[in-house]
Structure 1
Amino acid sequence: MSLRTSRRGIARASAIGFTLVLTLVPLLAPPPGGLAMASQVEALPSGAQRVVSVGGSITEILYALGEEDRLVARDSTSLYPQEALSLPDVGYMRALSPEGVLSVNPDGILALEGSGPPEAIQVLEKASVPMVVIPERFDSQGIVDKITAVGQAIGEPEKAEAFAAKVAGDLDAAKKITAGVEDRKKVLFILSLQGGKILASGTGSAANGIIELAGGENAIIGYSGYKQLTDEAVIEAQPDVVLMMDREGDLSIDENELFSNPAIAATPAGMNRQVIRMDGLYLLGFGPRTAAAVKDLAVRLYGDEITN
């Protein structure tokens, strides 16, 4: 059974919500291992035209550069633009099947830092498929560096540098709109609320990065990555706003469920019923659309307080 066939059952059973969770997971702090173990090159072979993209932001960058014709497959976190969905899906970026990747006969792989598992990478190494690992960092410079790294990898450095400069300018402009805000909102990013247990973002994550870019403060700073919080920790954090991915189906968290949680109810966010929902990849992708996401989040946090 091919990887693509095996994924169909998962997709049918879990629908949009499950896909959004898979989209988020690689946007946490990248774990050790994965492609860091692979033999890395700075660029794919000259003229590489059968490229597999592993990482939603990498796929977005290739489309933004007008280099989408090189793509022969993408991973399951690559949900934008819509046209990318017509490409074969080689699986989730941290659970790649080497058979799925090799089935499209690639002459190169562009993969976001943290992809894997190591066993899959070892098989791809033995198959002598050139691989470029694209660094991931959750700040403005990280996005610029990602774009230039992709351009270098595909032999289009000048095109990528021009686009990176535009994106850098857009990010600077987006950050400036909250420059005059004095009372910074404390934001609690909640990944899930399974069984009433709050799984929330600390530092070192994409959620932390986007909150800071939009002029907010992460309400949780005592740890890195994502962890379950005790009720006491939530109440002590006193967030002004809850931020969540906009989901559908079984993984959605409605407002009654959220604000009836005793810990949330004891915070300013709960008392004032303040919640912001945004598309997961748009909010946390740290790619070409991040400047727009920063503006959207800032407007929803501060409204008339910001400078347009």
Structure 2
Amino acid sequence: MKTISYSFLFFALFLFAACQNEQAKPTTEQEAPAAETPKRIVSLNGSLTELLYQLDLGQNIVGVDVTSSYPEAAQALPKLGHVNKLNVEAILALNPNYILVDSNALASPAIQQLAQSAEIEVLAVPVPQRLDGAVTSAKALAQKLPIAPEKIEALEEEIQKDQNALKEFLAQQKASPKVLFIYARGSKVIMAAGPNTAMAKMIKLAGGQNAVDDFEDFKPLTPESVLASQPDVLLLFNSGLASLAQAEKSADEALLSLPALVQTPAAKHKRIISMEGHYLSGFGPRAAKAALELAQNLESEMDK
């Protein structure tokens, strides 16, 4: 099973998502050609939305999920909720021909409900957490959407160029700082990321070490959860850091004064990095650029 190709996985997952409405769809001897331009697309994944724009299919998108924040044009489209909490009625009202979803999200009841529509095809697309994962996604999309091979080749070349730049930068680095990623939504929701997270993968790709390894996913930030980790650098999304600001304290001051962090090397040296969330964690077309930027930020912070 581990040797199965993502192209095959795309079709296997697509068939799974579509099997519920197979009998509802009228069958004909000759299906519409794959190269037919899709008229209306709903994208329920920020990385897939960004990829569609890069592949010149942005004009066909009629609605997106809340993670679709890039490019700027996507922000003007109707927001349809998160894949785990979708507005099904709003999606259906847009009359899409295709709904694009990360293949890992097929268990969502809303996705299964949408797959029952005879007029809609739910395309389950792999979004691998790799720097070149967008190439895999693009090739899967090309099985159903009219994407010129030259577009995918250009994407692959651009990502390879960014990966080469990252490799060259990391070759000059001697230290591998311990980085603690903190997911924050105000002072009442502050979580630390374990090794089985997208952020831990990105930290490693950027030349760092995930600071904690005694829990897998996310865990509330407490002195006990970071006691042995002693992180060198704190990493947050821009929105998460901003949410910590208080009337009497800046966001940075509020973060560094948290009891769980105050005695860490990161707090003592005021080493904080914040980056845009989707860019940093989405593993979309700009993932290699994000990894390089994070690596450069880590070097800058460790000089303090």
TM-score band by shorter chain is: 0.7 to 0.9
Q: Which has the higher contact order (CA 8 A, sep 6+)?
A: 1
1:104-253 mapped onto 2 (5 Å cutoff)? 104-115=94-105, 118-128=108-118, 129-156=120-147, 158=149, 159-192=151-184, 198-247=190-239, 251-253=243-245
Between the aligned partners of 1:44 and 1:182, the Cα distance in structure 2 is 54
Task: Write the letter of the residue equivalent to 1:88.
Answer: P
Between the aligned partners of 1:241 and 1:260, the Cα distance in structure 2 is 15
Task: Write the letter of the residue equivalent to 1:295.
Answer: L
Between the aligned partners of 2:145 and 2:104, the Cα distance in structure 1 is 20
Between the aligned partners of 2:97 and 2:296, the Cα distance in structure 1 is 43
More helix by share: 1
Between the aligned partners of 2:82 and 2:17, the Cα distance in structure 1 is 18
Do the aligned partners of residues 185 and 248 (structure 1) sit closer, same or farther apart at CA in structure 2, a change above 3 Å counting? closer
Partner-residue secondary structure (3-state), 1:83: helix
- How many residues align structurally? 272
C-alpha contact (below 8 Å) 2:134/2:284 kept by paired residues? yes
- Alpha-carbon offset, residue 119 of structure 1: 2.5
Between the aligned partners of 1:168 and 1:86, the Cα distance in structure 2 is 31
Which deviates the most, 191-200 or 165-174?
A: 191-200
Task: Write the letter of the residue equivalent to 1:289.
Answer: R
Partner-residue secondary structure (3-state), 1:121: helix
Q: Does 1:286 align with 2:283?
A: yes
Q: Does 1:272 align with 2:264?
A: no
Do the aligned partners of residues 110 and 195 (structure 1) sit closer, same or farther apart at CA in structure 2, a change above 3 Å counting? closer
**1:299 paired residue number:** 296
- Alpha-carbon offset, residue 197 of structure 1: 7.0
- Alpha-carbon offset, residue 106 of structure 1: 0.8
Between the aligned partners of 2:146 and 2:185, the Cα distance in structure 1 is 44
- Alpha-carbon offset, residue 36 of structure 1: 10
- Alpha-carbon offset, residue 135 of structure 1: 1.5
Q: Does 1:73 align with 2:81?
A: no
Q: Which has the larger radius of gyration?
A: 2
C-alpha contact (below 8 Å) 1:175/1:213 kept by paired residues? no
Structure 1 residues without counterparts, runs of 5 or longer = 1-33
Partner-residue secondary structure (3-state), 1:175: helix
CA RMSD, Structure 1 to Structure 2 (Å): 3.0
Which deviates the most, 297-306 or 80-89?
A: 297-306
Between the aligned partners of 2:221 and 2:244, the Cα distance in structure 1 is 19
Between the aligned partners of 1:86 and 1:279, the Cα distance in structure 2 is 18
Partner-residue secondary structure (3-state), 2:81: coil
Do the aligned partners of residues 118 and 72 (structure 1) sit closer, same or farther apart at CA in structure 2, a change above 3 Å counting? same
Task: Write the letter of the residue equivalent to 2:71.
Answer: P
- Alpha-carbon offset, residue 46 of structure 1: 4.2
- Alpha-carbon offset, residue 256 of structure 1: 1.8
Partner-residue secondary structure (3-state), 1:302: helix
Q: Name the TM-score, length of structure 1 as normaliser.
A: 0.78
Q: Name the TM-score, length of structure 2 as normaliser.
A: 0.79
C-alpha contact (below 8 Å) 2:280/2:290 kept by paired residues? yes
- Alpha-carbon offset, residue 141 of structure 1: 3.9
Task: Write the letter of the residue equivalent to 1:223.
Answer: F
Between the aligned partners of 1:275 and 1:85, the Cα distance in structure 2 is 28
Between the aligned partners of 2:197 and 2:130, the Cα distance in structure 1 is 10
Do the aligned partners of residues 303 and 49 (structure 1) sit closer, same or farther apart at CA in structure 2, a change above 3 Å counting? same
